[in-house]
Amino acid sequence: MNYRHVFHAGNFADVVKHTILTRILAYLMRKDAPFRVIDTHAGVGLYDLKGAAAEKTGEWVDGIGRLIDQDFSEPAKDLLAPYLDAVRAQNPDGGLRFYPGSPLITRNMLRLQDRLMALELHPVDVEALRENFAGDFQVRVTHVDGWQALGTHLPPKEKRGLVLIDPPFEERNEFERMTQNLIKAHKRWPTGLYSLWYPIKDVADVDKFVALLQASGIPKILRLELTIRAPSDPPRLHGTGMIVINPPFVLEEEMRTLLPLLADVLSDEGRGQWRIDWVAGE
């Protein structure tokens, strides 16, 4: 499948992915020490939900479109606040016209001492990304293959932070490539926090990916998944997953609060399911 961000901005997978992202960032902010976020496949940063690409699929309607006006009770309301605040920050006049990708969601939470490295290979997208962060001294936009950058940008000088890996899945062997590059990155920075997004379309492919992770020898691997419908034949996107390496100790509990609610809001006719388990422990 081709999961270039612009066609799927704000869909159910983005909602889950970016909710997890903000919970990780909120944890990093508990300490005053600076941190760095490295976004390996950053996209353009900001998406027009009324633009041609987003209108072509309309996926945001059943994603952020369902969530933005939900009235959740505590503690879910507080846990979702950083994500929804980042979305609302791009729509200051109200409504829902623009959706921030992971670089802008991250930027919305950075403190003065923190930094973001936004990496993008697509030549058109990287120029749009540069425009969206023009003059921002806390963000460095680089035209580079995010996979290659994992070998040259780790560890960051801050020694704290997150590597967000969110590829477009344009290649058939993307799961294998993701695992191989994660192993290389982890050897360079074993204490780093890594978050890897993946689509759930073919369950067998996901099972093979998890088996590769288990065989990698990397410890502390948490899996978070949400599906909005049952698998189909032929396969279609029916779920979204995140692998988190060295997860914050509060993340599992927070997502046990949020995933059931998100499954209920985002699923087709109440058929949503969620999963949290440890692919590898200590």
Per DSSP, the three-state class of 99 is: strand
Beta bridge partners of 46: 100
Cβ(17)–Cβ(244) under 8 Å? no
Does residue 166 carry a catalytic annotation? Answer: yes
For the chain, report the end-to-end CA distance as a whole number of angstroms.
Answer: 33
Is residue 89 within a helix (H) or strand (E), and if so which, with residue range?
A: helix 76-89
Which two three-digit tokens encode residue 34? Answer: 């600076």
Cβ(203)–Cβ(236) under 8 Å? no
Among 48, 166, 202, 205, the one annotated catalytic: 166
Backbone angle region of 269, left / alpha / beta, with phi > 0 → left and psi within -120 to 50 → alpha: left
Q: From CA 22, how far away is CA 14, in angstroms rounded? A: 12
Q: Which residues are catalytic?
A: 166
